[in-house]
């Protein structure tokens, strides 16, 4: 079964540093997402991405965050200046959704990147 791949699995960084989390979505999927989960809390939506543009973003996704699809396969999340509260598991997902409106999409999640900000 095709899967979403995320690297690295763990990332430790100092407060104020920039981090880039990488994801390889499933090859024929068009919609991509980042979610995060702080330890013991809910899975929170960050951003959705389609056709090289942000489709929707949450309040969490402020100016410190950016996403990019630099080539045909990778999808990245950059945090410009990390804060202690950015420590979380970050999940990338890709979707079966097509260009037309679809309410029955299925998300496929990667295994996540555990980000620890010290």
Give the whole-angstrom CA distance, residue 81 versus residue 79.
6
CB nearer to another protein: pick between 10 and 80:
10
Beta bridge partners of 105: none
CB of residue 76 to another protein, shortest distance in Å: 17
What is the nearest approach in angstroms of another protein to the Cβ of residue 92? 8
CB closer to another protein out of 65 and 109: 109
Burial class from Cβ neighbours inside 10 Å (0-12, 13-18, 19+) for residue 30 reads middle
Rounded least distance, CB 104 to another protein, Å:
4
Contacting positions for another protein (CB under 8 A)? 4, 35, 42-45, 48, 55-56, 58, 89, 91, 93, 95, 97, 101-112, 114
């Amino acid at each position: 079964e095709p899967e979403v791949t995320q690297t690295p699995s763990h990332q430790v960084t100092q407060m104020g540093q920039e981090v880039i989390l990488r994801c390889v979505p499933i090859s024929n999927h068009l919609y991509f997402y980042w979610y995060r989960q702080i330890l013991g809390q809910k899975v929170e939506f960050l951003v959705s991405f389609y056709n090289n543009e942000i489709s929707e973003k949450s309040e969490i996704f402020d100016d410190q965050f950016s996403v990019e699809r630099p080539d045909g396969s990778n999808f990245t999340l950059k945090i410009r200046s990390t804060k202690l509260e950015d420590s979380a598991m970050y999940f990338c997902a890709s979707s079966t959704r097509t260009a037309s409106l679809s309410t029955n999409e299925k998300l496929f999640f990667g295994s996540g990147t555990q980000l620890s900000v010290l």
